[in-house]
């Protein structure tokens, strides 16, 4: 089966992988899920169509917490590679598959394990706190992992004079330094979606809609965070729009979350924050959007591509993630 799928992709490229004519992908996915005892985990940034067929939808923290407890045989992880790796590390007995192995992350890609190891050696006496958006190799080099939901709490769990390296997101790191009063040494990585927001255009939009609140993910650059009325992780932003009284929001994070905001708040208005080039679809994470319904179907059919990690790496990367879950 495995070789078959790989060979077909190599031969015709993914878009031309043949499927049965007139296939109802959604119905087939539901059938295969039942037949193979599989569950679908999805991140808020995938398309609304894929969000709607996920068994569990969440931000990075909720997905990690949920993945650890799954008893089904197969986890189909619809998000990006580091998230699926985290699920495998937390639940190594399960087969973890993804719709597209190329769904990576600019933050994770900014931190090759060997370079990061050298960086750590240059800073003796520092502990290493890594954002979950990194490879298993980088996790294995870290003392504790954080997500945007728990980063502040975990940083503050260390003594004030503790020297800390924070990687890979310099924007989240800067934000954490500002709210915790720490001076963590930052790795120079950024998210290609969140660093593309245009402060000028956001202010123009706010002038057009003075009744709108600006809400932003801490992966955004400092100038955007400075004009935000509320800063929080994806789940925190979603909860804020649900519990807060304002009826209009300018949302500076990946556009996929607008689907859930709108579903939970049908009477409220959500405006995507504009990017430097509003014609480029910069608010979409091109990695997250590599996932498609056809790829979900094929992944379940062939049980491929699968996340495979060496035993040694699984073990080394596990402890810093478990430490995060304990501290969350
Ligand atoms: P959260 O899911 O922690 O909000 O992170 C956002 C993100 O960029 C995921 O890649
Ligand atoms: Fe990575 Fe940014 Fe995409 Fe999240 S939105 S997966 S941080 S590139």
Q: Which domains are seen in the chain, by residue range?
A: 2-103+288-309 (3.40.50.10800), 107-191 (3.40.50.10800), 199-272 (3.40.50.10800)
Tens-digit pLDDT profile for residues 118-138: 999 999 999 999 999 999 999
pTM given for the model: 0.94
Closest atom of ligand 2 to 194 CA is: 2
Parallel, antiparallel, or unpaired: how do β-strands 95-97 and 74-78 relate? parallel
Q: Which ligand is nearest to the CA of 104?
A: 2
H, E, C per residue of the chain: CHHHHHHHHHHHCHHHCCCCCCCCHHHHHHHHHHHHCEEEEEECCCCHHHHHHCCEEECHHHHHHHHHHCCCCEEEEECCHHHHHHHHHHCCCCEEECCCCCCCCHHHHCCCHHHHHHHHHCCCCCEEEEECCCCHHHHHCCCEEECCCCHHHHHHCCCCCCCEEEECEHHHHHHHHHHHCCCCEECCECCCCHHHECHHHHHHHHHHCCCCEEEECCCCCHHHHHHCCEECCHHHHHHHHHHCCCCEEEEECCCCHHHHHHHHCCCCEEEECCECCCCCCCCCCCCHHHCCHHHHHHHHHHCCCECCCCHHHHHHHHHHHHHHHHHC
Nearest ligand (C-alpha, residue 236): 1
Q: What is the mean pLDDT of residues 58-76?
A: 97
Nearest ligand 1 atom to alpha carbon 254? 8
Tell me, what's the pLDDT at 68?
96
Evaluate the CA torsion angle 252, 257, 259, 265 in order and state its sign: negative
Digit-coded pLDDT (tens) for 234-274: 999 999 999 999 999 999 999 999 999 999 999 999 999 99
Share of the chain above pLDDT 70, in %: 95
Please work out whether the CB of residue 192 comes within 6 Å of at least one atom of ligand 2: yes
Q: pLDDT-based confidence at 5, cuts 50/70/90?
A: confident
User: Ligand 2: does its nearest atom lie under 6 Å from the Cβ of 165?
Assistant: no
d(CA 122, CA 119): 5
Say which residue the tokens 């699926």 belong to: 84
Using alpha carbons only, give the angle 46, 295, 264 rounded to the nearest 5 degrees: 25
Query: Could you report the per-residue pLDDT of 157-199, keeping only the tens digit for each?
Result: 999 999 999 999 999 999 999 999 999 999 999 999 999 999 9
Which ligand has the minimum distance to the alpha carbon of residue 103?
A: 2
Bridge partners, residue 166, by sequence: 129, 186
Give the pocket of ligand 1 (CB within 6 Å): 59-60, 105, 133, 147-149, 191, 219, 233-234
User: Lowest mean pLDDT: which of 18-22, 228-232, 284-288, 297-301?
Assistant: 18-22
pLDDT given for residue 175 in this prediction:
98
**pLDDT tens figures, 78-88:** 999 999 999 99
Q: Say yes or no: CB of residue 128 within 6 Å of ligand 2.
A: no
What is the reported pLDDT for 281?
Answer: 58
Q: What is the pLDDT of residues 275-325, one digit of tens each?
A: 987 666 568 999 999 999 999 999 999 999 999 999 999 999 999 999 999
Question: pLDDT at residue 94 above 60?
Answer: yes
Is the distance from the beta carbon of residue 251 to the nearest atom of ligand 2 less than 6 Å? no
pLDDT of 77 > 80? The answer is yes
The number of the ligand nearest the C-alpha atom of 80 reads: 2
Compute the distance from residue 253 Cα to the ligand 2 centre, in Å: 10
Closest ligand 2 atom to 45 CA: 5
């Amino acid at each position: 089966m495995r070789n078959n799928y790989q060979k077909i992709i190599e031969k015709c490229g993914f878009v031309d992988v043949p499927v049965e004519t007139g296939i109802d992908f959604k119905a087939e996915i539901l059938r295969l899920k039942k037949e193979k005892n599989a569950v679908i985990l999805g991140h808020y940034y995938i398309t609304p169509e894929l969000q709607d067929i996920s068994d569990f939808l969440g931000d990075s923290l909720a997905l990690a917490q949920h993945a650890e407890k799954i008893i089904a045989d197969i986890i189909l992880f619809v998000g990006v590679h580091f998230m699926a790796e985290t699920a495998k590390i937390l639940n190594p007995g399960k087969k973890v598959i993804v719709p597209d192995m190329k769904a990576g992350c600019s933050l994770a890609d900014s931190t090759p394990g060997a370079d990061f190891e050298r960086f750590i050696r240059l800073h003796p006496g520092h502990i290493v706190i890594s954002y979950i958006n990194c490879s298993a190799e980088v996790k294995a080099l870290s003392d504790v992992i954080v997500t945007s939901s728990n980063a502040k709490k975990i940083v503050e769990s260390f003594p004030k004079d503790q020297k800390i390296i924070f990687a890979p997101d310099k924007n989240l790191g800067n934000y954490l330094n500002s709210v915790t009063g720490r001076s963590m040494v930052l790795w120079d990585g950024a998210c290609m979606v969140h660093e593309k927001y245009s402060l000028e255009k956001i202010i123009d939009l706010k002038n057009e809609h003075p009744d709108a609140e600006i809400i932003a993910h801490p992966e955004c650059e400092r100038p955007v965070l400075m004009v935000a009325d509320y800063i929080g992780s994806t789940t925190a932003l979603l909860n804020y729009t649900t519990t807060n009284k304002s009826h209009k929001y300018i949302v500076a994070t990946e556009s996929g979350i607008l689907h859930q905001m709108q579903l939970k708040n049908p009477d409220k208005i959500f405006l995507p924050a504009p990017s430097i080039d509003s014609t480029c679809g910069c608010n979409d994470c091109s990695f997250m959007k590599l996932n498609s319904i056809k790829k979900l179907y094929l992944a379940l059919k062939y049980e491929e591509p699968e996340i495979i990690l060496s035993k040694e790496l699984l073990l080394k990367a596990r402890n810093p993630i478990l430490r995060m879950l304990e501290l969350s």
